Amino acid sequence: MGLVDFFKKIEPDKKKSPYLHTTYDAFFTFLFTPNAVTKPGGVHMRDGMDLKRTMVHVVLAMQLCYVFGTYNIGHQHFAAMGQFTGIFEGFHLKLAHGLIQLLPIFIWTHIIGLGIEFFFAAKKGHAVEEGFLVSGALIPLIMPPDIPIWILCVSVAFAVIIGKEAFGGTGMNIWNIALLARVFVFFAYPTTIAGDEVWVSGFASLAEGSAVDYGWAHTGLFNSLFEMMGLATFDTAATVVDGYSGATPLALAYQGGWENVTEHFTVAQMFWGTIPGSIGETSKPFILIGAAILLVTGIASWRIMFSMFLGAASMAFVMNLWGATPFMEVPWMYQFYMGSFFFAMAFMATDPVTASGTNTGKWIYGFGIGVIGMIIRVLNPAYPEGWMLAILFLNTFAPLIDHYVLESNIKKRLARA
């Protein structure tokens, strides 16, 4: 109790210093769980798993995606130059380049998002809400590694202000905040999140012979460090090799079906994630480990995950039967090797605030996302992926789904009575 007492002694005055008190309260409630219970003599249950602890578990479940995403940013960078094509070749250089690209995205996401949260909390006179812990961790993972930082900042501000604060704050938003940030970039600045060149960083262009674009962190900080250690360094004279495009498996499938995909990537590459794509979406094993953590801890709904898989698989099978385009003929099981289905299933669709709350509603909600997402992916080549729009669409209808589920239950009970 001594540590708690110490922190309580240094608590700023809420009226005199609202912003300072908001900052203090955010860190205090992050470090300590609430100890409030019912009055003495009453029957009560107290669980240390409050909202902050719940959010922290979700963030921890994403950490393997961050580790692999950092590596894959570097791996795709060197693949464009035809260098260090092996998994462990140039490992230190790949991690260094990945950190150089990822850290600014992560830092600026939190500066803007948390800054807005702190401002609104101080203005409203309440504690900082915990919702951005997860949103702030998700947003960097669903962005391309080459996204301009100023566009990222605008998208985060839009998502937090319009998507959450305008509705009353954490727990009141009807759409997933991280997906709102991505959809804002997609519609406001489409060339920064679609096409072949956005998935590979470190170049002004991916045209043959284009020079690498290294900054001080590459040539000064890390090259000096690696030279001292006798390791390979960043080569400022390197250029893009002949024939490299940076296209994702989905883009290749649009152009020529599954045969075109397998000409460029093996099934193993797509499964493990050494392919171009958003930072955290490519490695299926690490995403599934995160999904398992969420299921074991009871934070995510298995009904949503399983029904979303069923919906996507069912629609992919229907597309196979139809077979009107090469993309429709992609075997249904291989649809799960491409794109961000598992990431959307594990971390986006299961958001407890924006998903359906009833058990029956969760089945309908997840299945609807799977079906609609696969339709958008296969039938509309204007979109690089379907899960973003499908989840936001079902977010909108989640309250209506729950309403009719409850109405149906009430009618059944009345009939029995």
Q: For residue range 21-35, what is the model confidence (pLDDT) as tens digits?
A: 566 665 566 555 656
Task: Give the side-chain half-sphere CA count within 13 A for 109.
Answer: 23
Residue 224 domain-assigned? no
CA torsion through residues 139, 141, 147, 150, sign: positive
- For residue 191, what pLDDT band results from cuts at 50, 70 and 90? confident
Residue from 396, 299, 385 nearest 350 by CA:
299
Residue 41 has pLDDT above 90, yes or no: no
Residue 417 domain-assigned? no
Residue 291 domain-assigned? yes
- For residue 7, what pLDDT band results from cuts at 50, 70 and 90? low
Q: How many domains does the chain contain in total? A: 1
**Could you give the CA distance from residue 214 to residue 219 in angstroms, rounded to a whole number?**
7
Residue from 194, 198, 196, 212 nearest 82 by CA:
212
pLDDT value at residue 382: 76
pLDDT value at residue 139: 95
Residue 263 domain-assigned? yes
As given in the structure block, the two tokens for residue 94 are: 């790949």
Least confident of 76-80, 122-126, 178-182, 300-304: 122-126
pLDDT value at residue 34: 59
Task: Print the domain residue range for 276.
Answer: 51-203+242-403
Contact 142, 178 (CB under 8 A): yes
**Could you give the CA distance from residue 97 to residue 116 in angstroms, rounded to a whole number?**
30
Residue from 155, 134, 179, 147 nearest 388 by CA:
179
How many Cβ atoms sit within 10 Å of the Cβ of residue 397? 16
In degrees, rounded to 5, the angle at the alpha carbon of residue 282 between the alpha carbons of residues 196 and 333 is 100
Q: What is the pLDDT of residues 215-271, one digit of tens each?
A: 999 999 999 999 999 999 999 999 999 988 889 999 999 989 999 999 999 999 999
Residue 211 domain-assigned? no
Q: What is the pLDDT of residues 117-166, one digit of tens each?
A: 888 877 776 666 666 788 999 999 999 999 999 999 999 999 999 998 88
pLDDT value at residue 117: 84
Question: How many helices (H) and strands (E) in the chain?
Answer: 17, 0
Instruction: Give me the torsion for CA of 138, 144, 145, 149, rounded to 10°.
Output: -80
Q: What is the pLDDT of residues 62-99, one digit of tens each?
A: 999 999 999 999 999 999 999 999 999 999 999 999 99
Residue 32 domain-assigned? no
pLDDT value at residue 305: 97
Contact 129, 169 (CB under 8 A): yes
pLDDT value at residue 193: 87
Residue 295 has pLDDT above 60, yes or no: yes
pLDDT value at residue 56: 82
What is residue 212's DSSP assignment? B
As given in the structure block, the two tokens for residue 400 are: 């209506």
| This prediction's pTM | 0.87
Residue 196 domain-assigned? yes
| Alpha helices, H only, 266-340 | 267-272, 284-296, 302-322
pLDDT value at residue 277: 92
Q: What is the pLDDT of residues 347-356, one digit of tens each?
A: 999 998 899 9
Q: What is the pLDDT of residues 43-65, one digit of tens each?
A: 555 555 566 667 888 899 999 99
pLDDT value at residue 303: 97
pLDDT value at residue 168: 80
Residue 67 domain-assigned? yes
As given in the structure block, the two tokens for residue 399 are: 């309250």
Overall average pLDDT of the 93-112 stretch: 96
Distances (CA, A) of 322 to 262, 278, 328, 335, 378: 22, 30, 7, 15, 12
Residue 109 has pLDDT above 80, yes or no: yes
Percent of the chain exceeding pLDDT 90 equals 67
**Could you give the CA distance from residue 149 to residue 103 in angstroms, rounded to a whole number?**
11
Residue 322 has pLDDT above 90, yes or no: yes
Q: What is the pLDDT of residues 340-378, one digit of tens each?
A: 999 999 999 999 889 999 999 999 999 999 999 999 999
- Residue 293's identity, in one-letter code, is I
Least confident of 123-137, 274-288, 323-337: 123-137
Overall average pLDDT of the 304-331 stretch: 95
